[in-house]
Every structure is written in C-alpha cells, then in structure tokens.
Amino acid sequence: MTLLRAEGLVKSFGKTHALDGAGITIRAGEVVAVMGPSGSGKSTLLHCLAGILPPDSGTVHYRDRELTSMNDGDRSELRRTEFGFVFQFGQLVPELTCLENVALPLRLSGMKRKDAERAANEWLARLEVDGVADQRPGETSGGQGQRVAVARALVTGPKVIFADEPTGALDSLNGERVMHLLTTAARETGAAVVLVTHEPRVAAYSDREVVVRDGRSRDVEFAR
Amino acid sequence: MVCIVPLMSIGHALLGLLEGGPRHGYDLKRAYDERFGQDRPLHYGQVYSTLSRLLKNGLVTEAGVEAGDGPERKRYAITDAGVTDVERWLSTPEKPEPYLQNTLYAKVVLALLSGRSAVEVLDTQRSAHLGTMRELTRRKADGDLADQLICDFALFHLEADLRWLELTAARVDQLAVEVKR
Ligand SMILES: Nc1ncnc2c1ncn2[C@@H]1O[C@H](COP(=O)(O)OP(=O)(O)OP(=O)(O)O)[C@@H](O)[C@H]1O
Ligand SMILES: [Mg+2]
C-alpha cells in the first residue's frame, strides 16, 4: 500500500535549485534508502516529504491527504502523530533526562506522566539504553544518544520514520548497531523508514534505494 | 553471490586443519566447508587431488587405512615439513592487490565513446552491489560471530567498489571530454 508519494517537487534557495522535479513513493512498512552525492538534494527531499519545508511546486500525498495544501496546524499535527524523526545530532533536549526526552512526544499528546514514562522506559530497553535513562543527553556517548533519539522517534508508534544520516557521527560498529535496532524496531511495528545516507553499508539495511542527483530522483522500482 | 573466501589456498587450509590431528579426507572436507566454505563447499575431487599433491610433496603422510577400500578410508597426518609450510604461509603477507575495476572501467569508457549513458552503467552496477550487500547484511543479523566477520569482510570490499562507482559517476562528464579527445 502506498503511504507517501511525492511528485514533481521543485525547491530553490535563491539561485540554487535544490530540487528540480524530484519524486518518490514510499509503501507502508518498507525501508527506503535515499542516496546520492553531497548537495544533490537528499535532505531537501526529506524535509519536503515530511512537511517540514514547503516545495515551490509539486505535491506530497500522505495516504489521501495533500501536505502542501494543508494549514500549518494540521500539518504539524500530522507530523506529531504519524511521523518520527532521527537526525545526525542535536535533536534531544539537553536539559531533560534521556527518559524525559523519550517521554516528551507522548506528554505533548496529552498522555499522563506515569504512562508516558513507562512507555519511554520500554523503548529505551528495546534500544538497549535503559541504563542511561536518568542521564542527560550530554552525559551519554554518541551511540547511546542516537539510540535514545531512535527510541523517541518510535515511542508514538509513527507510520513513517524520517532519518537523515542517523549514523553520520558514529563509528561503523555503533552505526551498524543503531541501524540494526532501528530497522528491526521499524519492521516489528510496521513503520516505514525513509533513510538518507551516503554510506553503502548503512543503505544495505534498506529494502531498496532511490538515488538523487542534481535535484532529481531516480526511483529504480517506480521508474517512469 | 560474492566469493567469500577469496581464492584461498586450499592446500594451506587443509594443512592448517590437519595440525589439529590426523583426519580422513571426508572429515577434512566437512571441517573446511563448515569454517570457510559458506558459499563454495569443496568438491571431493578437489580434496583428494589436493591431498595427493600434498602427499607427493611430503607435506602430509598417510596415517593408517581402515578396512574397506576407496580413498575415503585413508587417514592423513601433517608432517614437520607441512607444519613449516603452514608457518611460512601464515607469516607471509598476502599481496595487497590494487583491485582495478577493469571491466567496469572499460564499460564506462565504451559507453561514453559510443554516446550511451555511462551513469546508467554505474547505476546498474550500484544496484547489483547493494543487492548483494543487503543479502550479506541479513545473513549477518542471523549469524554467529564467524559469519559476521566473514560478511563484514565482503561488505567492506563491496563498499569500496561502491565508493569508486560514486566517484566515477561524479566525474563522468569530465571523463567524457577526455576519452573523446
Ligand atoms: N536552507 C538553505 N539555504 C540555502 N541553500 C540551501 C538550504 N538548504 C539546502 N541548500 C542547498 O540546496 C542544495 C541541496 O542541499 P541538500 O541539503 O538537500 O543536499 P544533500 O543531498 O542533503 O547534501 P549532503 O549529503 O551534503 O547532506 C545544496 O546546494 C545546498 O547548498
Ligand atoms: Mg543532507
């Protein structure tokens, strides 16, 4: 089942044409690697897909809803309930403990503190970082911090996880562990993953790849 | 499928296995397949032809024959010369092959010369490489530490190829100018 579909995305920053007619299709539960050279438009594509960045033209459909024509409130509601995000770094709130960070998205949706923290604890354990629950992000290693971030992305039961170079700051052993835990958890919960990476060994955790070059994407499976 | 044991010297591997004690040819094949033969188990013919060569060179000796006939009745033991040979093999580094992507490079150049898409050639190869890497990654998830290390060896090599593919794709316009000069 098609979950997310972008068509004809165009996005410019001043004179830079970051996206020049890019498209992509994501089906429920699949892990898709978005690859391509630096500056080719991978992150811009991901931001447009996730409704973070409005494209200059083109459409993004999540199920039967069109993201670019939604109002801001509805769009952020959709992001909060249906999507999860993992970035290279800087996504955890430094003042909160790791447990509070993972519980945060649930608290924002109105869940009681006790229930939110119980769910957060379960996810920390699943990502094998329950040991750092009471530490602040600054007191964890890079690999632990990324696993906490993955736990936070998954705790709300999203349908799509957007991950932009989630292992970019990790060594290969830690990077692979994070990828293994992320893709295993996503497969178990049926979440799709859009994984931006330039590392082939990271992309090898995907089901298929889409290559972006010069702002245009080449979807091997959905080639036009 | 990639060749996981890269053209390893079967003779040395068998000698190494015999250092643990005498074995039948059949045992040796099993031990080899279990440790090194994930993708390409040995044929019996290979085992016996290798053993007869080792025998002729004095690196192994026959250590008893059981009742019955056929080569599978013989037990083989490593000799002192065989042990020396294993030691020499272990202490000699493998030649670091600057593994040139000759075929791929030729395909890229010929595509450019004939006005076809070289990027297409590179993308097709990338897709095939990633397919194999996915399979190895899955196998790694299900495997023990030995499987993981063997798969990682192959994965890092395939990744190196992919980096070359990427770099070449980025330079294809430049290369087009040069090959047509
Ligand atoms: N906010 C911005 N303001 C100005 N230019 C931008 C902005 N975001 C992206 N760009 C430009 O758009 C192009 C595509 O950028 P993008 O970040 O999508 O590339 P990328 O494929 O993710 O690269 P990398 O692999 O280096 O992360 C680049 O030329 C970049 O400089
Ligand atoms: Mg980027």
Integer Cα distance of B46 and B163 in angstroms: 36
Q: Are residues A121 and A213 in the same domain?
A: no
Q: Are residues A200 and A145 in the same domain?
A: no
Q: How far is the CA of B168 from the centre of ligand 2 (A)?
A: 21
- B103 close to A (CB below 8 A): no
What residue type is assigned to position A97 of the chain?
T
Q: Are residues A73 and A176 in the same domain?
A: yes
**pLDDT above 60: residue A59:** yes
Closest Cα to residue A26, out of A201, A172, A156, A217?
Answer: A217
Q: A213 to chain B nearest CA, in Å?
A: 9
Contacts of A212 in chain B (CB under 8 A): none
Q: Which of A98-112, A173-187, B86-100 has the lowest mean pLDDT?
A: B86-100
Asked if A137 and A149 count as a contact pair (C-beta separation under 8 A), the reply is: no
Integer Cα distance of A48 and A58 in angstroms: 10
Integer Cα distance of A54 and A11 in angstroms: 8
B127 vs A37, A205, A220: nearest CB: A220
Give the CA distances from residue A19 to residues A16, A211, B36, in Å, rounded to whole numbers and listed in that order.
Answer: 9, 13, 48
Integer Cα distance of A154 and A83 in angstroms: 9
- The per-residue pLDDT for B6 is 41
Protein residue with least CA distance to atom 3, ligand 1: A13
Q: How far is the CA of A22 from the centre of ligand 1 (A)?
A: 14
Q: Are residues A166 and A152 in the same domain?
A: no
- B137 close to A (CB below 8 A): yes
Per DSSP, the residues of B41-75 read PPPHHHHHHHHHHHHHTTSEEEEEE-SS-SGGGEE
Contacts of B170 in chain A (CB under 8 A): 37
Give the CA distances from residue A80 to residues A85, A86, A104, in Å, rounded to whole numbers and listed in that order.
Answer: 10, 13, 11
Q: Are residues A71 and A120 in the same domain?
A: no
- The per-residue pLDDT for B111 is 84
| pLDDT tens by residue, A154-209 | 999 999 999 999 998 888 888 998 999 999 999 999 999 999 998 999 999 999 99
Q: Are residues A176 and A212 in the same domain?
A: yes
What residue type is assigned to position A71 of the chain?
N
Q: Are residues A8 and A70 in the same domain?
A: yes
Q: Are residues A67 and A163 in the same domain?
A: yes
The total number of structural domains in chain A stands at 2
A193 beta partners? A31, A161
Q: Are residues A149 and A165 in the same domain?
A: no
- As a whole number, the mean pLDDT across chain B is 84
Contacts of B133 in chain A (CB under 8 A): 200-201, 203-204
Long-range contact set of residues B59-66: C-beta below 8 Å, sequence gap at least 24: B59/B11, B59/B15, B59/B85, B60/B15, B60/B18, B63/B22, B64/B22
Q: A182 to chain B nearest CA, in Å?
A: 13
Ligand 1-lining residues (CB < 6 angstroms): A 13, 16, 18, 36, 38-44, 198
B130 vs A198, A204, A213: nearest CB: A204
Write down the H helix ranges in chain B.
10-18, 25-36, 44-56, 80-91, 102-113, 118-142, 145-170, 172-179
| pLDDT tens by residue, B19-61 | 989 999 988 999 888 888 767 788 989 999 999 999 999 999 9
Domain of residue A3, CATH code = 3.40.50.300
Q: Find the domain containing A98 and state its range.
A: 89-157
Asked if B99 and B76 count as a contact pair (C-beta separation under 8 A), the reply is: no
For residues A203 and B70, the model is more confident at A203
Instruction: Count CB neighbours of A94 within 10 A.
Output: 10
Q: How confident is the model at residue B5 (pLDDT cuts 50, 70, 90)?
A: very low
Q: Are residues A70 and A111 in the same domain?
A: no
Q: Are residues A23 and A111 in the same domain?
A: no
* Residue in this structure with the two tokens 């630096």, named with its chain if needed: A38
Closest residue in A to B153 (Cα–Cα)? A201
Contacts of A174 (CB under 8 A, 6+ apart): A141, A142, A143, A146, A167
Percent over 90 (pLDDT), chain A: 86
Q: Are residues A68 and A98 in the same domain?
A: no
- B139 close to A (CB below 8 A): no
Closest Cα to residue A146, out of A118, A173, A119, A116?
Answer: A173
Integer Cα distance of A99 and A118 in angstroms: 9
Protein residue with least CA distance to atom 5, ligand 1: A13
Q: What is the mean pLDDT of residues B117-129?
A: 88
Q: How confident is the model at residue B72 (pLDDT cuts 50, 70, 90)?
A: low
Q: How far is the CA of A39 from the centre of ligand 1 (A)?
A: 5
Contacts of B141 in chain A (CB under 8 A): 180
Contacts of A108 (CB under 8 A, 6+ apart): A80
Asked if B127 and A211 count as a contact pair (C-beta separation under 8 A), the reply is: no
Q: What is the DSSP letter of B93?
A: P
Closest ligand 1 atom to Cα of A196: 22
Q: How far is the CA of B159 from the centre of ligand 2 (A)?
A: 20
Asked if B47 and B36 count as a contact pair (C-beta separation under 8 A), the reply is: no
